[in-house]
Structure 1
């Protein structure tokens, strides 16, 4: 990913705006837990999506901003934090050789969401992606990493602190830039999201008022 924070944020907002017209309300189930990526997120607040906006719409934009932050931190780490960069590369190599990760490679709007929809009552049971992801069947066992000295551990902790501080700095810049796009974000929500939510509520209201329901009078 190339360019300044401002251009990256603008690019990802453009991508989100192209996705929003394809969004449809999910009806298969409610969330069993709060999304840690979106609940109380300053990114969601900066975009003006914190109130009365479906979670999937919030999540899609939040994950795109996370791409911007992660890419910037990765670049900073590669340039300035050699020990941490080496450890991260080794860790990724170990994970790639020992785990099946079905959540990798997904579009941003699906990252961080539950992997498996609920099974239909009459459907045959085979497996879930979650079970496959947790299966302990290494494809190629890697040798254990060399032991780090106390000095190396201390140096990596110091570099990790620098990476965390930089991530906070980039996150604040992303929020500030995202606020500049709030008007067109709101315009897309009004045009594509709110009509669908209103239609869903109208369907629910008509079902609750169905003449087939027993009268309470």
Structure 2
């Protein structure tokens, strides 16, 4: 029996809450470009995860909600949008033919994240994961071209799929409002103490920028 949308959202929040105690602040250099999935996300707003919440914490929840929406849209497409479904089936077969698929099978906390770190000026990469994936993709034949009529019909079905995705997304946001209290409680227990510890450490380093031993020997 198909799970209701309320059940799917509740179970996804449960899974995110089970993961949250394992989260630790990133120690590497932050990225310049914002995450397209999380920046300005109405899902995160509904969950009460504001801009002051670390991106790693946000991403794990937004990805889980996106999976729910994607699954609902996939079912709707299979039942109602034959041209779009055929196009997706062809694309899926093409993807399966690729010999290297590094972005597949990732945990929700890493899905959709950049495959490579930001480059360091003056220190180019010998190779990148994204570059190797592009090389593998180039070896797979392109999909056959569509006629103008088929393109117009496909655009119409894509529009219907987008409308359905927006409708499901609004329902997900509405359901998430009921989970705000336990989400906020988990943030207070597992995330905020780590952020406060980082700020305390930063404050101490700013108050004493030099090693005490160096200061006394100067």
Give the TM-score taking structure 1 as reference length.
0.87
Q: Which runs of 5+ in 1 are unaligned?
A: none
In the TM superposition, what are the counterparts of 1:65-214 in structure 2 within 5 Å? 65-98=65-98, 100-117=100-117, 127-135=127-135, 138=138, 141-142=140-141, 144-145=143-144, 147-210=145-208, 212=210
1:59 aligned to 2:59?
Answer: yes
Q: Per-residue displacement from partner, 1:55-105 (whole Å, max 9, x unpaired)?
A: 111111011100000000001101111111011110121233246331111
Structure 2: distance between partners of 1:144 and 1:152: 14
User: Residue 181 of structure 1: SS of its match in structure 2?
Assistant: helix
User: Residue 156 of structure 1: SS of its match in structure 2?
Assistant: helix
Contact 1:97 1:142 in 2 (8 A): no
Give the TM-score taking structure 2 as reference length.
0.87
Shift in Å, 1:144: 4.7
Q: Which runs of 5+ in 2 are unaligned?
A: none
Contact 1:2 1:8 in 2 (8 A): no
Q: Number of paired residues?
A: 212
The structure-2 alpha-carbon separation of the partners of 1:152 and 1:137, relative to structure 1 and needing over 3 Å to count, comes to: closer
The structure-2 alpha-carbon separation of the partners of 1:75 and 1:117, relative to structure 1 and needing over 3 Å to count, comes to: same
